[in-house]
Amino acid sequence: MITSGLTPIITEHWDKPDLYTIEGYRRVGGYQALAAALKMDPDAIIGQIKDSGLRGRGGAGFPTGMKWGFVPQNDGKPHYLVVNADESEPGACKDIPIMLANPHALVEGVIISSYAIRASHAFIYIRGEVPHAIRKVAFAVEQARASGFIGENIFGTDFSLDVVVHSGAGAYICGEETALLDSLEGYRGQPRLKPPFPAVAGLYASPTVINNVETIANIPYIIDRGVAWFRQFGTEKSPGFKVFSVSGHVVRPGIYEAPLGITMRELLDYAGGIRGGGEVKFWLPGGSSVPMLTAEHLDVPMTYEDMATAGTMLGTGTPMLFDKTVSVVKAVTRWLEFYKHESCGKCTPCREGTYWITGVLEKFEHGHGSPAEVDTLVNLCSQIAGRSFCALGDAAATPYPAALKFFRAEFEAATTTSANEQFDPVASYVFAETVTR
Amino acid sequence: MTITSNAGSDLTPQVELVTVVVDGVAIEIPKGTLVIRAAELLGIEIPRFCDHPLLEPVAACRMCLVDIEGVPKPQPACAQVVSDGMQVRTQLTSPIARDAQEGVMEFLLLNHPLDCPVCDKGGECPLQNQAMSAGRPESRFEEVKRTFPKPINVSAQILLDRERCVSCARCTRFADQIAGDPMLELLERGSNQQVGTAADQPFDSYFSGNTVQICPVGALTSAAYRFRSRPFDLVSVPTTCEHCASGCSLRTDHRRGTVTRRLAWDEPAVNEEWNCDKGRFAFTYQEQGRVATPLIREDGNLRPASWPEALDVAARGLAAATSHGVLVGGRSTVEDAYAYARFARAVLQSDNIDFRVRDSSDEEAQFLRSSVAGTAVRTTYESLEKAPAVVLIAFEPEDESPIVFLRLRKAARGGGTRVYSVGAAVTRGLSKLAGTLIPAKPGAEASVLTDLPAKVRAELSTPGAVIMVGERIAGIEGGATAVLELARSTGASIAWVPRRAGERGALDAGALAGLLPGGRPLSDDLARGAVAACWGVESLPATTGLAGESLLRAVTGGGIGALITGGIELADLPDQALGRAAIEAAAFVVALENHHSAITELADVVFPVAVVTEKSGTFMNWEGRPRPFAQTFKDALVMSDAIVLGMLARAMNAPIGASDVAGIRQELGSLGAWAGARAEEPNTPAGQVVDAAYLVSTWRALIDNGVMQEGEPYLAATAHAVAATCSAVTVADLGAPENVTVTGPLGSLTLPLLIGDVLDGVVCLPLNSPGCALYRDLGVRSGQAVTIGGAV
């Protein structure tokens, strides 16, 4: 089991300037997996993905092969594959780079996955704010179509597929899979009542698989190189590799592809450590929706199971690190302002709760509020978590209790001293060194 | 009691039962029941806002969270389906559920203005009530509330106070799922989420008032009722709507002798919990323009008179005439219509009587006598819902019987019922029913019916299929004959859906020449004998009298001397000149009217009679289902038509039976149903299409110039736009002008020209809408020719 070192696979050829073209991708072995896959029985592909233990890279970590297996076969209905490329999680920046640098890995994965679940129509729903990524993927799809990888009777088989690249319109909630389906159908994006689950009645009330970009980009490599190769990376419960996007107060923020099970400390080393030789104050392993950790957790392996044990989640696997210059009050307030802005409004706890919590946090940030409210907020978060319609509410209820666990004193002080008085905001800027020098 | 001509539709499928335990009490209920319904059955009320039994679950408000054993998070009872052995704990037994509900309530009240003292909903508000039962006494919220400018109009009638809204989506789901008018939608995100409409598309739904009623807060109010009253100051009476033959249950609320509002009331078999905006808002006519005292004509002018004087004048005038005619309007209750039918035969010894003061035909009269009057309830709302196929003929349900439309839409949306309409246009209503047009030019309907596509005929032959016939069948030569033949050959049942609330009742009460109560043919000696015995008279006229336009022509020609009219509008007659000429020609006219009208201007004696709020009675809806209603104003002094007729009979020394509602019901009951031979069916050959470039297709819009909608400007403003609608081809032929001038024998109308899914060469016009009264302005009926010219 390889759980350390960098293992560039999806990112292996990112230094080649023409990787985004079909010629560049094929030069490094692209679309070999597709040719092999189309010779396989679709069920065998599903079996291979099940055996690989690949878990969804969108945040929840649900086993991909099992998800595919839920799609009823021979039901006479059209099946759909929908790629969730609505990467909007604060701190997450891994799907968009994949789409920019290696879009054909995604497209090849889409074709293979569609073949496996017997879908003849696939949709790639890309966040609307990244037109450059939309253009890259649309270009890749057109090139694949021109090469006969998309269209009627691919490689002379019975398999036909159309792929639609769809642009979102700027709502975080559309990353929630059922809201994404509503948005794709032309409705206002709000999560749907489950059951029925998308695997049974998803897009246009037909069986639908929704997978993350990185998940789908894994598929060609698993088909091409096999289950045993894939499972040599990571752990038993979290096999494979992960495109980690490391951001924050590190010397070299960026994309680091490494096996699951690597520690934050090792990733931090690759990123050059905290700027100016400083220390981590707190960090989040996978976007703002997962509970924060501190320097004492730097040696916890980055796996789904170990992160859960540590009281957090791997999430999107996109660590954000903050050094000692940062006011946790301010950080949490910014996140809650985000959730308030992005709450879709459907359910009461999330719609009203984010409004309330944000109001109180903004008071804290400015040195107002009462000590009693420090605990009221915990109660409010508990009124949202587990009671909202979808996971957005749960996510909104996450940052504050997690922060309070480690930094209670800072919140209590905030009732009298503003965040800017506690922490010089200039010191936390990326360009702080220039300023202080 | 339901007898259908097609067997097999009444088989009830076996229901699988599961046992679920709510708060320690076990109940066996059908699989698939929602937890919230299961709890209701046990008398456990779980607080809720978004839940509505007739709308699909949305689980948005989260007020009904309950604790289910084995499930880590509290679950919404409104969306959770029961399973066998499920253990549910509600707020009554679970601290988790209680805490969750209190938390949600605290959240709901954050941005709610708590302006209960000035809110119309205060006193009957689910938010107010449940804040008391399921909320904490005090809120911990100290921040600033989100506010909106208030209120905004989502239509002329419906006002929206956005800050009161709890985003339960009942109104938007009603508009989308029930009415099929998805013009209301939630807009924006998060705490800025609000209900709204598109800028150029107000919520002009015929059913918009229901959203006010199901709104669980005071966010939606009606312009008609806003700030008029507090619910706890109102007296409520269960009533039946007098506007159409749907027969909706209503609740009439009044205060200090004035009706303040009407609500749809719960009647699962008929209107479920809905009604239309006409039924809800059109009641101001009841007070305006009333005839206050009896009036008699003296020296050519009407003057007020005492009751004894007026009765005496009327009795002598009627006695002086040798022949009589009786015209009963379509708004009569069963009891009043029965009194007219009895008065005509027993007192006046005349069979010249008709309740169809509208477009009518002898063929229609034969059809009604032979196949509708006094028949057992065959087709019901429930059977519509189960019908595999429904063919509509001369019937536009959304305009002419809106609750039939809602039930058909429910049936069509459920996926089981296919709707076909024989007509000249794919109307807004038909497209909302996902219906198919069977194209028939106006006038060709009868031949199209005889020559239906094989597929439709096959579907009509499936058990449970229904042919729904509107009252406009009277204007289609051979139409009723073709309907009867179609029903005979396919086995489909016929449902005649008149437009007015009183027509079916008047028919069954015998207010039509040749027909005695209960569908008894006048020509039948046995029937006549039984009725004469019941009425305590020696004999009844034995020959069928005159009806429809023949009756009017007889008056004009001097063949009939005296007329009694009860609640009629001359404007409803296609040939208005004939109607007016008849009234003018009659030697003596007694009018029983509640309002001043063209008739009261011409009558010799006018008796004021009660409107629906001042009497009790029964409307019989299109199903043949009696819809009794109570007197709203118990101390009203205005008498019903039946009581006035009873007094008149006594004044003529020919007293007949009971005049009060209870007595008449007893009489009708003692007569019972008629099991003998029925009157003969019509046999009229199919009519021909008029050979002309442009033919008129017309019907009455739900919201139009009807006199019972007077005095309600907000309702009137939600009427559909008045326009001439033609096919794209016809519009192109006309040169695509913005407006067109349509010309008929009596004149011209200039109207906006719209493109619609209409047969080429046909122009769809509303029959009696503002600026477009076809009978009066053009002098044309459906199927007649007009000329069309472009206009500026």
pLDDT digits 0-9 by tens, B430-440 = 999 999 999 99
Residues 644-663 of B with CB under 8 A from A: none
Q: Is the pLDDT of residue A1 over 90?
A: no
Contact A193 B185 (CB under 8 A): no
State which H helix or E strand residue B78 sits in: none
Q: What is the CATH number of the domain that holds A383?
A: 1.20.1440.230
Contacts of B60 in chain A (CB under 8 A): 346-348, 389
Q: Is the pLDDT of residue A433 over 70?
A: no
Contacts of B110 in chain A (CB under 8 A): 352, 355-356
Of residues A188, A354, A359, nearest to B190 (C-beta): A354
User: Is residue A193 a part of any domain in this protein?
Assistant: yes
Could you tell me the pTM of the whole model?
A: 0.95
User: Is residue A316 a part of any domain in this protein?
Assistant: no
The residue in chain B having the minimum alpha-carbon distance to the alpha carbon of residue A359 is B143
Sequence-distant (≥ 6) Cβ neighbours of residue B732 within 8 angstroms: none
Smallest Cα distance from A364 to chain B, Å: 12
Question: SS3 of B298, please?
Answer: strand
Q: How many domains does chain A have?
A: 2
Instruction: Kindly provide the b/e burial profile for residues B421-441, where b requires at least 16 CB atoms within 10 angstroms of the residue's own CB.
Output: bbbbbbbbbbebbebbbbbbb
Question: SS3 of A425, please?
Answer: helix
Same domain, A60 and A179: yes
Q: Is the pLDDT of residue B740 over 70?
A: yes
Q: What is the mean pLDDT of residues A271-298?
A: 96
Asked if B136 is an interface residue toward chain A (Cβ–Cβ < 8 A), one would say no
Smallest Cα distance from A238 to chain B, Å: 25
Strand locations in B647-723 (E): 694-699
Smallest Cα distance from B144 to chain A, Å: 8
User: Is residue A17 a part of any domain in this protein?
Assistant: no
**What does the pLDDT read at residue B14?**
73
Contact A355 B191 (CB under 8 A): yes
* Polymer length in residues for chain A: 437
User: Is residue A343 a part of any domain in this protein?
Assistant: yes
**What does the pLDDT read at residue B5?**
43
Q: Is the pLDDT of residue B368 over 80?
A: yes
Contact B104 A383 (CB under 8 A): yes
Residue A215, domain extent = 22-226
Residue type for B625, please?
A: R
% of chain B exceeding 90 in pLDDT: 95
Contact B79 A354 (CB under 8 A): no
Asked if B96 is an interface residue toward chain A (Cβ–Cβ < 8 A), one would say no
Count CB neighbours of B87 within 10 A. 15
Smallest Cα distance from B100 to chain A, Å: 7
Contact A343 B107 (CB under 8 A): no
pLDDT band at B169 (very low <50, low <70, confident <90, very high): very high
Same domain, A54 and A188: yes
CA–CA gap between residue B6 and residue B495 (Å, rounded)? 14
Domain limit, last residue, from A211, A226, A241: A226
Smallest Cα distance from A261 to chain B, Å: 29
Asked if B446 is an interface residue toward chain A (Cβ–Cβ < 8 A), one would say no
Direct distance between the N- and C-terminal alpha carbons of chain A, in angstroms, rounded to an integer: 46
User: Is residue A278 a part of any domain in this protein?
Assistant: no
User: Is residue A39 a part of any domain in this protein?
Assistant: yes
Count CB neighbours of B376 within 10 A. 10
Same domain, A208 and A339: no
**What does the pLDDT read at residue B13?**
61
Instruction: Kindly provide the b/e burial profile for residues B597-632, where b requires at least 16 CB atoms within 10 angstroms of the residue's own CB.
Output: bebbebbbbbbbbbbbbbbbbbbbbbbbbbbbbebb
Asked if B77 is an interface residue toward chain A (Cβ–Cβ < 8 A), one would say no
Contact A359 B188 (CB under 8 A): no
User: Is residue A13 a part of any domain in this protein?
Assistant: no
Instruction: Kindly provide the b/e burial profile for residues A398-414, where b requires at least 16 CB atoms within 10 angstroms of the residue's own CB.
Output: bbbebbbebbeebbebb
- Chain CA centroid to CA B429, Å: 15
Contact A355 B106 (CB under 8 A): no
DSSP state of B344: I
Smallest Cα distance from A133 to chain B, Å: 26
Same domain, A41 and A175: yes
Q: Are B152 and B162 in contact (CB under 8 A)?
A: yes
Contact A383 B192 (CB under 8 A): no
Residues belonging to chain A with any Cβ–Cβ distance to chain B shorter than 8 Å: 171, 173, 188, 193, 340-349, 351-356, 359-360, 363, 376, 383, 386-389
Q: Are B407 and B273 in contact (CB under 8 A)?
A: no
In chain B, what are the domains? 17-110 (3.10.20.740), 138-286 (3.30.70.20), 295-355+503-671 (3.40.50.740), 369-497 (3.40.228.10), 694-791 (2.40.40.20)
pLDDT per residue as tens digits for the range B250-285: 999 999 999 999 999 999 999 999 999 999 999 999
Asked if B738 is an interface residue toward chain A (Cβ–Cβ < 8 A), one would say no
Domain limit, last residue, from A172, A205, A226: A226
CA–CA gap between residue B407 and residue B410 (Å, rounded)? 5
Residue in B311, B399, B206, B398 with CA at minimum distance from that of residue B604: B311
Contacts of B148 in chain A (CB under 8 A): none
pLDDT band at B9 (very low <50, low <70, confident <90, very high): very low
Contact B106 A348 (CB under 8 A): no
Q: What is the mean pLDDT of residues A296-301?
A: 97
Q: Is the pLDDT of residue B504 over 50?
A: yes
Same domain, A344 and A203: no
Q: What is the mean pLDDT of residues B620-647?
A: 96
Sequence-distant (≥ 6) Cβ neighbours of residue B594 within 8 angstroms: B290, B291, B567, B608, B609, B610, B611, B638
% of chain A exceeding 90 in pLDDT: 97
* Polymer length in residues for chain B: 792
Contact B110 A193 (CB under 8 A): no
pLDDT per residue as tens digits for the range A18-43: 999 999 999 999 999 999 999 999 99
Contact A383 B107 (CB under 8 A): yes
Asked if B415 is an interface residue toward chain A (Cβ–Cβ < 8 A), one would say no
Give the best residue of A387, A388, A415 to mutate against chain B (max B CB count within 10 A).
Answer: A387
Same domain, A57 and A189: yes
Same domain, A200 and A337: no
**What does the pLDDT read at residue B338?**
97
Same domain, A202 and A85: yes
pLDDT per residue as tens digits for the range A82-93: 999 999 999 999
DSSP per-residue letters across A150-207? SBSSGGGSS--BEEEEEE--S-GGGGSHHHHHHHHTTS---PPPSSSPHHHH-GGGS-
Residue type for B457, please?
A: R
Sequence-distant (≥ 6) Cβ neighbours of residue B790 within 8 angstroms: B734, B735, B737, B739, B740, B741
Of residues A356, A376, A387, nearest to B62 (C-beta): A387
- Chain CA centroid to CA B412, Å: 20
Question: SS3 of A9, please?
Answer: coil
**What does the pLDDT read at residue A432?**
73
User: Is residue A277 a part of any domain in this protein?
Assistant: no
Q: Are A238 and A305 in contact (CB under 8 A)?
A: yes
In this structure, of B483-497, B614-628, B778-792, the range with the lowest mean pLDDT score is B778-792
CA–CA gap between residue A312 and residue A333 (Å, rounded)? 19
Of residues A363, A383, A389, nearest to B60 (C-beta): A389
Sequence-distant (≥ 6) Cβ neighbours of residue B244 within 8 angstroms: B276, B278, B279, B400, B401, B402, B499, B500, B501
Domain limit, last residue, from A176, A200, A226: A226
Q: What is the CATH number of the domain that holds A71?
A: 3.40.50.11540
**What does the pLDDT read at residue B15?**
86
pLDDT per residue as tens digits for the range A237-251: 999 999 999 999 999
Q: What is the mean pLDDT of residues A212-234?
A: 98
Count CB neighbours of B754 within 10 A. 14
Token output for B286:
């009841």
